[in-house]
Amino acid sequence: MFPRLTPVTKTILILNVLMYLVSNFYMFPKLYELFSVFYIASPYFEPWQIITHMFMHAPMQGPGIGLTHILFNMLTLLSFGPVLEQFLGDRKYLILYFASGIGAYFLNCGWNYFEIVQLGISEETINNIPMMGASGAIFGVVAAFSTLFPDAKMIFMFIPFPIKAKYLLPGIIVISLYLGFSGSMGGIAHFAHIGGAIVGFVLAKYWKDNRYRIN
């Protein structure tokens, strides 16, 4: 079902699971506040959160709640990460992963600013809502896979039939845009997903176009 697990993907997976276990079962009282990321103008924002939020996931609040967040992200990473890691190499794969997660954060900040200025949502409300999860980074991985292997057929979660990778990326963007603007499925940072996917696409397209150039 999944490609052979590769070293970098394995390390990312282990770190995410460890952080989830520590956060939820060892009950460090301020771990979510310290390592989730806040709006850049929030008094709770700290620079390291731009990286650490990628290893935090929704707290376990009841049967299945929170656990589905990390399970979905890690299963998606297992589906696409090892192939990209082998194709790109460790360095580019790490750049892709973290750049996508950072891009996800900053596009979400842009949406937060729009909510404050244009939609009239109070800055205090925005400042108090943390963002967490590897979804932005993983959307970048999925977008890069779709760009580098456009004709690969796959069974993706919740899609019961094979679909070519090149149709996956525009589908992700359209669905996330609709959910983001409509406010459907509240509590999910849809524009972070879009930000991650855009960065993943741009990096993969650049590497693909320049792969055979001689310096």
Instruction: Look up tokens 């952080």; give the residue.
Output: 19
Bridge partners of residue 37, in order along the sequence: 131
Q: Which backbone phi and psi does 206 adopt, to 5 degrees?
A: -65, -50
Element (H, E) at 163: strand 163-164
The number of angstroms, rounded, from the C-alpha of 25 to the middle of its chain's C-alpha atoms is: 24
pLDDT tens-digit readout, 143-167: 999 999 988 877 665 566 777 877 8
Question: Looking at per-residue confidence, does 66 or 106 come out higher?
Answer: 106
Task: Report the predicted TM-score, pTM, of the whole model to 2 decimal places.
Answer: 0.89
Mean pLDDT of 198-206: 95
In the chain, what are the domain boundaries?
7-52+63-209
- CATH architecture of the domain 7-52+63-209 equals Up-down Bundle (1.20)
